[in-house]
Structures are given as C-alpha cells and as structure tokens.
Chains A and B, each alone.
Chain A
C-alpha cells in the first residue's frame, strides 16, 4: 500500500501500467510451505523500464510468473494484487487471463533454444501468437512474421522465416523470441534474464534491440536480471530482491549513487572494478535457504551492520529520498 501512496506524487495514477501490491507467492511443499515471494510491491509506469535484480532463487522469476498467472502447482498466489490496466490479474478467470498473456503482457525467456519448439519453424512461432489472439489469418501471418523478423533486425527475414530454431545462432534465437513476444503488440514486456544465456558480445546487441523495441512499440519493460551492469544500461528504476522480498527500490541513478541497503551496497561493491589485479569483493555468507529463513531480516546473518533488532523482525519500508525506499533498520525501518 505504501508503494501506491509513495508514487502518487511523482505521476498521475493513469500513468501506471502495472501495479503489484503486496504480492505473496507460496509453494505448498512438505514439510512446510515456502514463501518464495513475500509482500512484494512495485509499479511500472508507461514507457518505463523497471529492473528487478537479485541472486538466483531470490524470487525474481516467481514474481514474473505470478504476474502473468503461469505458476504451476504447488505454487500459488497467497495474497496481494496485480493491477494491470486497472484489472486485478490475480482475480481474472483463465479465459480472460489468456487474452492478457501475449496481447497485454509479452514474455521473453532466458533460454531462447529451450523456449522455441524445436519442431516448429520460426514463422510458425510468430504466426501462433497472432492466430491465438485472432489478429491474423494463417495466410496473413506469414507476411506479418517476416515484417516482425525485419523489425528485430534479422537479416534476410524472408528466408529465415522458414528456418528451424536449431538453424539460428543464440542471438538470432533471442531476437526471434522477441519477435514472438512483440507480435501482438503488448503494452508490457517481461524479460526474464534475456541476456544471461548469450555471449557477451551478443548480450550488448540484444540489449540495444530491447531499447529500440521499447521505443518503437511504446513498451514498458520489466527486466529481470542478476546483472547490475544490464540494469545500469537499460533500466529507469530498479528493485533489489533478496530472499523473496524487495529490500530497496528507486531510480537507477539514486540507488546506484546512494545505495541504502547493506545488500545493495554489497552487490554494487562486488562489480569488478577498472583496476586490473584488484581482488574481487564478494558478500560474505550464502543466500539463505528459502525453506528456513531467519526470523528477522533475512539478510541479517550476512550483514556487517547487524543489530539485535535485525534478528527479531523484518523492518518496515522507509522512504530515504524522492522515489527511493528501503527496508532496513539502518534507515529508520520500524519492526
């Protein structure tokens, strides 16, 4: 709730495309349920890129899957709301939700090879998106597919449209994934680690393309990554996730210049510096087991500034600057 109020002064409500409020996702597994996403709130405005950053297992992907209702049993949304264009997606019946997927919210996966059906041609993937949403007949779909392949800068699209995924390079596959995701002109694109599986040189090209597409298709973007460099280059705002919670969020500039949470500071400090030969800094300790989180702040066991109160309860959210909030006792958080 506080996040809604917080942003109310920085823009009109109608600017908000997606508003996630108190989202909590639970996996009902033995011996006790695991809370993978805990009271997560954030907003994405029209035309904005929000970077969701965190280590593996911090709940980034589960958050994304919860938003578009793709959680598989035993996962379920236990609380909160996901408002997209004024509708709560968590309450939407499945047939309505299907219309949102693809047409309202596009999704780009981490592994383009795995996310493309190996026995379907490139064109068929794009055509499927169009046909599912009734946007093109089978005959028109091929032309549209070629146009989209051209839009994502695939050379010789007329020929590539008949290729199978295995005939493409990793970067080309990710471009195809993007063409598929953008086929139905969604307002929001969720990109789950879109560059992680790619070569470094190709990563830059894909990020460039992502920025281009954002402008061309007037997209908002939820960019999930564990790479702060990608965030710095691509995102307007950033939310840092740790053990299922957002511990800090704000504008990229603000968070990178004045990180308020010890975890964010640790992450930023562990980016390799320019000086060759200097030791790589790492955050001490390891990510907690989601099945047995500490009672208080989940980062407390690894935190250099740990206090007694950190081990008893999780701090509330405090605003440290305009559009910059954090959940830490060091910054005035309350139990």
Chain B
C-alpha cells in the first residue's frame, strides 16, 4: 500500500512540476463551438463549459493543490514543532497558556474556522494558506508536546544537561530527533487534508479565484452540468480523490514503518 501511495504521489508531483511542458493545450484557449464536449483522442478529459481543455487545467490545478498543501504543511508543522517543544519542555505556566489556546482552536470544527477566517480576510490563495496553517499547527504541537514530555525524562537528555548543554541544544540535538518520525507521518497525512480543504474552500468560492484553475473551482464549475456533462466534475474530482488516497497510503505506510512495535 505504501508503495502504491508513493507511486501515486511521485507521479502527481512529477506531473505538476513538469506541467508547463506536458500541457497538451493552452489551458485558457476557449474552443467555444465545442464546449462541454466529452473525452476524445484530442482532448482526453474533454472540454469544459467555456471549451477549455480539462486535462490541461487539471494539471495546472495540481500545481495549486500541491503548492497549498506543501506550504500549509510546512508552515504548520514547523510552527507546531516549535510551540509543542517549548510547551512540553518548559511545562508550567507556558504549557498551560499554550494548552488553553490549543483547546480553543480544537473546539472549533477546523473547516468552519477556515471559512470564517477567509470570509473575514477576503477570498484569495494566500488567505486560504493562512487559514489552513492557523488551524493546522495545533495537531503538530500536541503531537510534539507529548513526545517532548516523554523525551525530556530520558537519561541521555538529563546527561546532556549535566554536561552543560543549553536548552536549545538539548531540544534540537537530543529531544526533537525522537519526535520527528510521528511528525513526518502526520505531515504526510496532513498533505491530503490540506489539499482536500483547499479544494473545499475553492469549491465554495473562497479560495483560488477564476480563471486560475483549481480542482475545487473546476468541480464547482461543473456542478450545473452534472447531468448533461458529468466529465467536468468527474476528472478533477477523480484526481483529487486519487491524490488524497495516495498521500493517505503513504502516511499509513510511514506510520507502520516507524512503529517500533512492528
């Protein structure tokens, strides 16, 4: 399963990176006479409501999706690791304050909070990333806090302290390496979550604005033609499903791989 996940992820990432050279058609060229045309040899995924090539737009949409996923996971995991490490290592009042903030953020359904944030800040790709990172760090912070709580009692951490090592050195050299494997698993699964959330926000019109192609906006655009031209929704939807599945497979596989009990 992990191998399948890896193949899917690598394929999609490669396709997204190489998209400018792979594009079969100009993604903004409108072949209006043939709009809503189904899949043909010339247009594998068919044409959309404005006669644009869906394959080309799906490929460009993958870039948006992966970009959002990568930035969201990058920002929230780094922020989460720093906050979680500080919270777990120092304990006491700092831990209490951070813990309450996390409780508040966890109490909201994440999607609702993201929608509210984007609604306030205004719909744009930057704001989507901001909103998703703002709710995303909590998961990493809780994970890392737990690991750090455990690791700071390790005798080799105490021994390093007895050598005169600074707190920063202890955290980076001795504590964080034990916390990293679960963070990697979480980050992989987080990619799937972030891409799904971006699609959802774009579907609602809160994310990427047309004409920039995004899977969410494409699915939304095909909504009205669901009965007469289902390929408008099926292809971007399928891509999203496959990528999310791929990242989930990969995450599950990683989790098993780093599980010392296996």
Contacts and interface: CB of A to CB of B under 8 A. Distances in A.
A and B found bound together: yes
Interface of A: 68, 70, 73, 98-103, 107, 109, 111, 114-120, 128-129, 132-133, 177, 180-181, 184
A31 to B, nearest CB: 21
B112 interface: no
25 contacts: A68-B162, A70-B158, A70-B162, A98-B164, A100-B164, A101-B161, A101-B164, A102-B162, A102-B163, A109-B159, A109-B162, A111-B155, A114-B154, A114-B156, A115-B158, A115-B159, A116-B156, A117-B174, A119-B177, A128-B163, A128-B173, A129-B163, A132-B164, A132-B169, A181-B163
Interface string B157-191: 01111111110010001100100000000000000
Nearest to B169: A132
A94 B163 CA distance: 13
A73 B93 CA distance: 12
A44 B59 CA distance: 74
B211 interface: no
Contacts of A102: 162-164
Contacts of B165: 98, 128, 132
A132 B174 CA distance: 14
Interface of B: 91-92, 154-156, 158-166, 169, 173-174, 177
A98 B159 CA distance: 13
B159 A116 contact: yes
Contacts of B92: 73
Contacts of A100: 164
Contacts of A73: 91-92
Contacts, number: 61
B151 to A, nearest CB: 10
Contacts of A101: 161-164
A111 B161 CA distance: 16
B81 to A, nearest CB: 18
A119 B179 CA distance: 13
